[in-house]
Chains A and B, each alone.
Chain A
C-alpha cells in the first residue's frame, strides 16, 4: 500500500483547518452566552416596544437571552421575589424610592464604574446610601425620563380660555384607576401643586421625610387640588374615581389634563390630534409665577444579581444610541446629556418638552411619591383617593400619613435629596 504524499497531508490539513474555522463561526453565530432575568412594569404595547427596540438587538449582538417579565404589580412581585431569594437579575422601577430601600437592605449591587454618571442630568443619577447607611453609591441607571408639571390642552385654546376652564372642575380630565397602582394620578396632582406653590425647598423636605404631612403648606396643596377637581362632589368625582387614567381624556367635555409627557402616546393629546402643553403653574391657584421647578419621572434600572450578563445589559442600556432609541419609542426622553438634542426635533411639542428637561437653571424634582418608600407611597395613593371622595376627611388622612412617617421612621429609608439642576 502506498503512503500518502506530502501534498495529501497538506490538503487534509487545510480541510481540517477550514472545518475548525467553520465550527468556530457556527458556534459563535448560534451559540449562547447565557441569560438574564429582567422585571419591569411595561406590559402590552409597551412590552412589545421594549422587546423590539431594546431586547432583540441586544440578544442578537451579545447572544444573551433576556427573560423579560412585565407586571403592573411590579412592586409586589419584586418584594415577593426578594423575600424568597428569587429576585430577577435586573429590575426597572418607575422611581428611586423603592430602590433606595433595597439598596439599604444590601439587595442591590453598586453600579459605580459601570456607566458614566456624570453624563446624566441631575437628579436622575443621584447617589443613594448603601447598607452601612454612610457610603453613597450609584445604584440605578436612568433609562427613560418624562416631564411632569404640565397641563395638556387642545392647541386652539387661548390662555384666557384655559384660565377660565381651570376654574371649572368639569374641565379637568381625571382618571384615578390604574390596576395595582390606582390612585397615582391624584398624588401627581398634589405633589405638583405643593412644588408650584411652595417651591423646591419645601417640596424636597416633604419628599425626603423631613416635613410633616400636617404642615399647612402641604394641607393647602391638598385643598387646592380638591377645589380644582371638585372633591366630594358626586357629579365630578364618581367618574374620576372609576375611570382608568388612560381613558380620562375620552370624556369629550373635559379640555384640560394634568399629566406627564408620556400622555402624548394617547389619541387625545398626540401631536397629530393638535395638542399642546402649558406649565401647570399657569393654572394652579396660588402658584409662584415664572415656573422654574418641574416634576420629572424616570425609569431606573438596578442590578440585583451581579452577573456578567446583567452587567453587559446595563452597559448596553447606558449607550446613548440605546437611550435615544428607547426614549423615542415610548415618546419619552433620555437623561443622558450625550444624546443629541436633534433626535427630539420630530415635532414642536417633543422639542419643547426636551428643551425643558435639559434647560439650565431649572430645578428638576423627582415625582415625590415615586421617591418615597413604598409603604408611604401606597398610603399616599390611598389617602388621595379617599380625600377626593370625601374631602372632610382631610385632617384624618394627613394625620394617618404622618403617623406612618413618624412611627415607622426606623424602617423607612428616604432619599437624601430628590431635586437637582445643571
Chain B
C-alpha cells in the first residue's frame, strides 16, 4: 500500500473518530443542561409554587379562624375554602414529586397535621369565644400550625409551617441542582469545545492535504462538513446559553417568591416566561445525532472516492 493511500485511510479513520467523539460529547453536555431545565420547568417550579400556595392558604385560614372566632363563627366557609386550597395544593405538590419518597412522606405528614389543625379550629367554633374551651382549642390549633411568619418558622420544628419550610428547602435544593452548571458539566463542555475545535482543524488540514495532493481547489463535502459543524455548534451554544440564563432567572424568581398569592402567581409567570422555549431547545438534542450522522456521511463521501481513485491509479 502506498503512503498516500495509507494517509487517506488514516485521515478517514481520524475524522470518523473525531466526529463520533464530538457528537457524543455534545449530546451529553447539551442533555446535561436541558434535562435539568425540562425537570425544573415541568415539575420542580410547580412543586415549589404549590407549597407556597399551601402556605399562603394556611396563613389566610388562620386569619379567618381568628376573625371568625371574634364573631363566634370559627370554622366557617372562608376557613374551609382556604383549608381545601391548602390540601389540594399539597396533593398537587405530591404529584410533582420534586423530592422523591422523602418529600411524599413529608406531604402525608402535613396532610395529617392539617386535618388535626382543622379539627381544633372546628372544635373552637362549637364553643363561645372567650370560653376556656375555646382558648384551649385555639391554643392547640396554634401549636399544630406554628408561626404564620415565614421568616420565623423553623424548618426543624414539627409544626405545619416548620414542615412546609423544610419541604420547600428540600425542593429549592433540587431546583438549585437543576440550575447549577456544576463541575461535571464544565468538564463536559470543555471537552466538547476541544473536540469540536480539533475536528474543525482536522477537517481544514484534510482539505489542504487533498488540494495539495489532488489539485482540486475546493472539496465541497469537507467544506459543507465544516460549515455544518461550525453553524450547528454555534446554534447549540446559543440554545444552551439561553436555557442556562432562563434557568438562572427562573431559580431567582423561585427564591424570591414569598408572601401573597399575587407574588406567587408573579413568580409562576416569570418561571413560565423564562422556561417558555425550553422544550423546543431540549428537543434539539435529536438534531445532534442527525448532525453527527450527516457529518460522517459527508466525511466519507469526501475521502472514499479519492481513496478509490488512488487505488485504481495504483493498480494500473
What separation, in Å, do the CA atoms of A97 and B169 have in the docked complex? 36
Interface stretch, picked from B129-137, B198-206, B289-297, is B129-137
Q: A81-B108, A182-B120 are in contact. Are A73 and B115 (CB under 8 A)?
A: yes
Which of B106, B112, B131, B144 has the most CB atoms of chain A within a 10 A radius of its CB? Answer: B112
Residues of chain B lying within 8 A (CB to CB) of residue A241: 132-133, 135-136, 139
Which of B111, B120, B132 has the most CB atoms of chain A within a 10 A radius of its CB? Answer: B132
Whether, in the assembled complex, A15 has its beta carbon less than 8 Å from a beta carbon of chain B, the answer is no
Contact B109 A69 (CB under 8 A): yes
What separation, in Å, do the CA atoms of A67 and B109 have in the docked complex? 14
Return A84 CB to nearest CB of chain B, in Å: 9
Q: How large is the interface on B (under 10, 10 to 19, 20 to 34, 35 or more residues)?
A: 20 to 34
Contact A69 B116 (CB under 8 A): no
Residues of chain A lying within 8 A (CB to CB) of residue B108: 69, 77, 80-81, 86
Whether, in the assembled complex, A179 has its beta carbon less than 8 Å from a beta carbon of chain B, the answer is yes
Contact A177 B158 (CB under 8 A): no
Return B34 CB to nearest CB of chain A, in Å: 29
Whether, in the assembled complex, B314 has its beta carbon less than 8 Å from a beta carbon of chain A, the answer is no
Whether, in the assembled complex, B228 has its beta carbon less than 8 Å from a beta carbon of chain A, the answer is no
Residues of chain A lying within 8 A (CB to CB) of residue B115: 73, 76
What separation, in Å, do the CA atoms of A74 and B144 have in the docked complex? 13
Whether, in the assembled complex, A283 has its beta carbon less than 8 Å from a beta carbon of chain B, the answer is no
Contact B106 A69 (CB under 8 A): yes
Residues of chain B lying within 8 A (CB to CB) of residue A43: 157-158
Whether, in the assembled complex, B140 has its beta carbon less than 8 Å from a beta carbon of chain A, the answer is yes
Return B102 CB to nearest CB of chain A, in Å: 6
What separation, in Å, do the CA atoms of A70 and B105 have in the docked complex? 9
Whether, in the assembled complex, A382 has its beta carbon less than 8 Å from a beta carbon of chain B, the answer is yes
Which of B102, B106, B113, B139 has a CB less than 8 Å from the CB of A72?
Answer: B113
Contact A242 B105 (CB under 8 A): no
Q: Which residue of A lies closest to B111 (CB)?
A: A80
What separation, in Å, do the CA atoms of A110 and B135 have in the docked complex? 44
What separation, in Å, do the CA atoms of A179 and B140 have in the docked complex? 6
Contact A76 B135 (CB under 8 A): no
Q: Which residue of A lies closest to B144 (CB)?
A: A179
Contact B143 A177 (CB under 8 A): yes
Residues of chain B lying within 8 A (CB to CB) of residue A243: 139
Contact A178 B136 (CB under 8 A): no
Q: Mark B134-153, 1 if CB is under 8 A from A, else 0.
A: 01100110011000000000
A44-72 residues with Cβ-Cβ distance < 8 A to B are 44, 67, 69-72
Contact B136 A77 (CB under 8 A): no
What separation, in Å, do the CA atoms of A238 and B134 have in the docked complex? 10
What separation, in Å, do the CA atoms of A243 and B143 have in the docked complex? 10
Contact B116 A76 (CB under 8 A): yes
Contact B112 A389 (CB under 8 A): no
What separation, in Å, do the CA atoms of A388 and B133 have in the docked complex? 9
Residues of chain B lying within 8 A (CB to CB) of residue A37: 101, 105
Whether, in the assembled complex, B216 has its beta carbon less than 8 Å from a beta carbon of chain A, the answer is no
Contact B158 A71 (CB under 8 A): yes
Query: What is the interface of chain A, defined by CB distance below 8 A to chain B?
Result: 37, 39, 43-44, 67, 69-77, 80-81, 86, 176-180, 182-183, 234, 237-238, 241-244, 382, 385-386, 388-390
Known interface pairs A44-B158, A180-B116, A238-B132; 13 further A-B residue pairs with C-beta atoms within 8 A, sorted by A's residue number: A37-B101, A69-B106, A69-B108, A70-B109, A77-B108, A81-B108, A176-B136, A177-B140, A179-B140, A179-B158, A242-B135, A244-B143, A389-B136
- 6 A-B pairs in the complex with CB atoms less than 8 angstroms apart: A70-B109, A72-B144, A77-B112, A80-B112, A81-B108, A390-B132
